[in-house]
A and B are shown apart, each in its own frame.
Chain A
Amino acid sequence: MKFAFYPGCVSRGACPELFESTIAVCEKLGIELDYKSMESASCTGSGILQEKNLKLGDTLNARNFALAEKSGLPLLTICSTCQGVMSQANARLLADKEYLKEINQELKSEGLEYKGTVDPKHLLWVLMEDIGIDKLKSLVVRELKGLKLAPFYGCYIVRPSAALKFQENPSRSTSLEEIIKAVGASVVDFPGKTQCCGFPILMINQKNAVNMVANHTSTAKDEGADAMVTPCPLCHLNLDAYQPEASKTKNEPINLPIIHLPQLIGLAIGIEPEKMKLNKHIISTKTMLSEIGVSP
């Protein structure tokens, strides 16, 4: 199984532990990542560039899709925000032939053209739809029994559900829960799991962003969670790095470790925590790891 790999900005920037753990996990799962084909791909615009100029954003994404198309490989991302922005751009490009034609004009000078055949996929969905829960279960060498995990989807991998093709792929709406169960841990359900983490306004209205972190992490903790799992590096950044600020608003330490999806899989299929930089989080994962008998 080979994919054109689109790591996104954050896994190569502020969340290097996501990048490292993805590489290690994909190797074990038999997912071959081709770096070369998307090496000159740009940022999706992250929804932010789109506030300023939607068409420019769509053009950059069409260019990235054209690069993937050229490689002949399906496109894989490890960032929910990239997934959402790409899916939305793709939906607009495919819905209007004239629009796609106009945008392709912009790509012409580079000899690129987007024909409309790309279906970008997050690792979370690849695990569900291409690897399959049964295969994942068969690779588990360390059942994470006793660990109580709160799923945190965030926004971009669940909304808008039409662009993300939830109807065609109903398992997408419960994928994180299924994976948590497949590795032997138990699911802590809480209402915030599909809400915004607050990251998009962190630099605009920090107070609101931090209050969102406080609400989600403390609710999950009150419901009994030992840690939270997310497929989105931006959610991770806010929920982990700003949790100390969130704790201040609650006047008590929240201390809920936030782990990336591949780190969860990695723990279960026998990858060492240091290799996945589980010791590099702001909120320590020590207690959580000792609960499953792993020393960090």
Chain B
Amino acid sequence: MNVNLKVKRFDPSEPTKNTWWQEYQIDIHKDSTVLDALIHVREYEDTSLALRCACRASICGSCGMKVNGSAKLVCKTRVAEVSPGGEQVVIEPMGNHPVVKDLVVSLDTFFNQIKRIEPYVQPDHIPEKGEYIASNESMENLLTAMNCIMCGCCVSDCTVLEVDDNFIGPAALAKAWRFVDDPRDSKRENRLNNLNNEDGGIWDCTRCMQCVEVCPKGVDPMDRIMDLRDSAISNGLTNSFGARHANSVNKSIKHSGRIDEFRLPIESKGYFNIKEIFKLLIPGLRMLIKKQSPSPFHHKNPNQSKVKNIFKNFEENK
């Protein structure tokens, strides 16, 4: 099949114009992967094209790139999938990682994020016999997180990392969950405390699901972040903006069936946090004046007692 690849190039040794787009028209087998196509280019069309790959079987995690705007392992992506009608295929290096050359990125940022969460089991005793035994059931919960092959695709497309490079990031947070919930680890509380309090911690994720969508291994990093949030709140860490935000939503749905948009911002900040509430004041007033909303008068839905009962049942059974 014939395909047109549009590749984003970068050569740091060029003094000017070191970034440019280059197109390649190639003829490849219909079952080729995007990686096959790129290797074809490097072998037969342009030996200067830099790319990284190793296993070609989506195990090593080396060939993450952006294909048509979203991060993928190119060895796991067929050309026919991304160009079903013969459309041009746009290939760029992953986002949120520094580019070394062309499609090769540095994984330093990625591993610095991973290091932040102390990615090793920290037991509090030495077992009598050589091994730490954990039951199958106690490890099942961790299987998704343990599938991570450190490819960096989730980091590439994370919307928070685009505006804030201090965010711990999806892969590292998923890994953090893997240790928080490991029965052999003794630092659960510490870990949750840090992840809860740290700038760039669990509450900074926007729940945009980019990481869930692009992760080639079903780690579903965002869901692991939700597991961490749930654990933090259950562990009594309720004083963050995020936890207060979740608790306020819980309270208003229980009370009226709907989110109380007037109280939610104030309760998230805390009623006495004057400095933070002040920041909400101007946009809030603008809304009140222009839209006459959200109204401070919050109405209950009809039959709300039924919804309230569901909340009560959950609270009692917890």
Contact = CB atoms under 8 A, between A and B. Distances in A.
A135 interface: no
A244 B286 contact: yes
Contact of A204 (B204, B208, B313): B204
Contacts of B314: 53, 55-56, 59
A60 B212 CA distance: 24
Interface of A is mostly: helix
Interface string A251-291: 00000000000000000000000000000111000000000
B293 A52 contact: no
Interface string A39-67: 11111011111111111100110010000
A205 B204 contact: yes
A95 to B, nearest CB: 14
B20 to A, nearest CB: 18
Interface residues of B, number: 59
Nearest to B232: A51
B246 A9 contact: no
Contacts of B18: none
A160 B250 contact: no
B306 interface: yes
A52 B233 contact: yes
A107 B309 CA distance: 10
B268 interface: yes
Nearest to B233: A52
A206 B250 CA distance: 21
Interface in A149-174: 155-156, 159-161
Contact of A203 (B210, B241, B313): B241
B155 to A, nearest CB: 15
B230 A54 contact: yes
Interface stretch (A115-123, A139-147, A178-186, A207-215): A207-215
A106 B261 contact: no
Contacts of A156: 209
B306 A215 contact: no
Interface stretch (A21-29, A69-77, A192-200, A224-232): A192-200
Interface string B285-318: 0110011111100000111101101110110000
A211 B306 contact: no
Contact of A212 (B159, B291, B303): B159
A12 B313 CA distance: 28
A235 B245 CA distance: 18
B249 A49 contact: yes
A155 B264 CA distance: 21
A40 B309 CA distance: 14
A10 interface: yes
Contact of A160 (B160, B212, B226): B212
Most chain A beta-carbon neighbours within 10 Å: one of B233, B245, B283, B303? B283
B242 interface: yes
Contact of B291 (A159, A206, A280): A280
B31 interface: no
Contacts of B295: 13
B258 A42 contact: yes
A47 B293 CA distance: 23
Given A42-B307, A159-B209, A204 B293 contact: no
Interface magnitude class on chain A: 35 or more
B279 interface: yes
Contact of B208 (A14, A56, A195, A244): A195
A203 B241 CA distance: 7
Contacts of B242: 51, 204
Interface string A1-29: 00000000110111111000000000000
Contacts of B204: 201, 204-205, 208
Contacts of A191: 69
Nearest to A200: B206
B207 A155 contact: yes
A47 to B, nearest CB: 5
Nearest to B289: A282
Contacts of B230: 51-54
Given A52-B229, A211-B163, A40 B301 contact: yes
A245 B257 contact: no
Given A12-B258, A14-B261, A46-B259, A40 B302 contact: yes
Given A195-B208, A195-B210, 16 more contacts: A16-B291, A40-B306, A40-B307, A48-B245, A50-B226, A51-B207, A52-B230, A59-B314, A196-B206, A203-B269, A204-B240, A204-B268, A205-B164, A205-B203, A205-B204, A211-B163
30 contacts: A13-B258, A14-B261, A15-B293, A43-B249, A43-B253, A45-B253, A49-B249, A51-B230, A51-B242, A51-B246, A52-B246, A52-B247, A53-B250, A56-B311, A60-B253, A63-B306, A106-B310, A159-B210, A159-B213, A200-B208, A201-B204, A201-B206, A203-B264, A203-B268, A204-B203, A204-B245, A204-B268, A212-B162, A244-B286, A282-B286
A-B CB proximity, top 3 nearest: A40-B303, A196-B208, A159-B209
